[in-house]
């Protein structure tokens, strides 16, 4: 029997876009602060809850997304102000900050569990109509894709414009290279740090079904996407997000079809990708000069 990959491919592109959005926020926060933010998953969960609750109360989706962006951004700034900054002022090492991020994530996650349990929304789904626009093989192109794909494209374009064509964006890049040098150069480091957390915290994905565990369950894929990008590369992170989406969905479909491997092992693929990148390319794709390589091959006539 021939394996039809149209459905896994569509799922791969959808999830790849979602992982890309989340991983871009993680890459931004790490490149500027050098903090491995394990609380990033809870920012995703909060955004998903705010969107679903707002839509279910009759607020249209665009406004719901804006409200979710604001809520996630405020939470990111709060975690930085209440947890990371005090520890940094005390001279805490990166390992302590990593552990603190795990602790902050746990606190936020279980606060959301308590709220969701009291309100009876442990599992919530935004009540939006999903219509099939077209069919590609067995896969269906729906109105959900008409939101996910454009949101990802617009977000990526806006981030590119911000970092390459605005003064705050260029200042953030300077901070990422050398924060001390940026400070003595007159850059308002603390103001820009808050701006970075606002943008990084607000970058989350649109989930159709949300639980307090949603962000935590996605975190492995998000870290894998950022690791492929070397934790510093904007475009490398995009490549990482799409790669993880493709590897997980197409990989598990092939293994399920031909080797009867349960789809429950899907997260294992992201873990394997992380290990392989650390073993063979610790810097990710960030240092790969694709254009230079192509020119070199063309020059040799290969």
The CATH number of the domain where 248 resides is what? 1.10.3470
Q: Is residue 73 included in any domain, yes or no?
A: yes
Q: Is residue 1 included in any domain, yes or no?
A: no
| pLDDT number for residue 208 | 64
Confidence of residue 5 (pLDDT cuts 50, 70, 90): confident
Q: Which tokens go with 64?
A: 């719901």
Asked if residue 302 has pLDDT above 60, the reply is no
pTM given for the model:
0.90
Q: Per-residue pLDDT averaged across 122-137, rounded?
A: 86
Q: Is residue 146 included in any domain, yes or no?
A: yes
Asked if residue 290 has pLDDT above 60, the reply is no
Asked if residue 116 has pLDDT above 90, the reply is yes
Q: Is residue 284 included in any domain, yes or no?
A: yes
| DSSP conformation letters of 28-77 | HHHHHH----TTHHHHHHHHHHHHHHHHHTT--HHHHHHHHHHHHHHHHH
Q: Is residue 217 included in any domain, yes or no?
A: yes
Confidence of residue 232 (pLDDT cuts 50, 70, 90): confident
As to burial, measured by CB atoms within 10 angstroms (0-12 exposed, 13-18 middle, 19+ buried), residue 151 is middle
| pLDDT number for residue 68 | 93
| pLDDT number for residue 39 | 97
Q: Is residue 62 included in any domain, yes or no?
A: yes
158-216 pLDDT, tens digit each: 999 999 999 999 999 999 999 999 999 999 999 999 999 999 998 876 666 799 999 99
| Number of domains forming the structure of the chain | 1
Name the CA dihedral angle for 65, 54, 207, 78, rounded to a multiple of 10 degrees: 70
| pLDDT number for residue 295 | 55
Q: Which domain range does residue 165 map to?
A: 6-300
Confidence of residue 146 (pLDDT cuts 50, 70, 90): confident
Mean pLDDT of all residues belonging to the chain? 90
The backbone torsions φ and ψ at residue 289, rounded to the nearest 5 degrees and listed phi first, read -95, 85
> Is 67 or 287 the better-scoring residue by pLDDT?
67
Q: Is residue 119 included in any domain, yes or no?
A: yes
3-class DSSP assignment, residue 135:
strand
| pLDDT number for residue 64 | 92
Q: Is residue 72 included in any domain, yes or no?
A: yes
């Amino acid at each position: 029997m021939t394996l039809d990959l149209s459905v896994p491919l569509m799922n791969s592109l959808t999830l790849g876009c979602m992982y890309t959005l989340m991983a871009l926020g993680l890459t931004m926060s790490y490149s500027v602060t050098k903090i491995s933010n394990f609380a990033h998953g809870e920012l995703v969960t909060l955004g998903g809850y705010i969107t679903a609750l707002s839509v279910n109360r009759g607020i249209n989706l665009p406004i719901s997304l804006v409200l979710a962006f604001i809520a996630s951004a405020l939470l990111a700034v709060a975690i930085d102000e209440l947890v990371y900054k005090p520890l940094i002022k005390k001279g805490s090492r990166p390992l302590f900050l990593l552990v603190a991020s795990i602790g902050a994530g746990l606190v936020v996650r279980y606060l959301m569990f308590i709220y969701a349990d009291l309100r009876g929304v442990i599992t919530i789904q935004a009540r939006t109509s999903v219509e099939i626009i077209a069919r590609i093989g067995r896969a269906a192109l729906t109105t959900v894709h008409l939101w996910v794909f454009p949101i990802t494209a617009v977000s990526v374009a806006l981030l590119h414009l911000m970092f390459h064509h605005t003064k705050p964006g260029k200042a953030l890049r300077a901070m990422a290279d050398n924060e001390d040098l940026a400070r003595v150069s007159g850059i308002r480091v603390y103001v820009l740090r808050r701006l970075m957390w606002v943008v990084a915290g607000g970058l989350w994905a649109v989930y159709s079904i949300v639980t307090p565990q949603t962000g935590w369950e996605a975190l492995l894929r998000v870290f894998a996407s950022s690791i492929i990008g070397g934790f510093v590369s904007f475009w490398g992170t995009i490549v990482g997000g799409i790669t993880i989406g493709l590897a997980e969905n197409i990989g598990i479909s092939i293994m399920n079809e031909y080797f009867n491997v349960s789809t429950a092992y899907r997260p294992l693929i992201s873990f394997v990708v992380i290990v392989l990148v650390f073993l063979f390319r610790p810097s990710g794709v960030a240092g790969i000069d694709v254009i230079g390589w192509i020119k070199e091959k063309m020059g040799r006539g290969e």
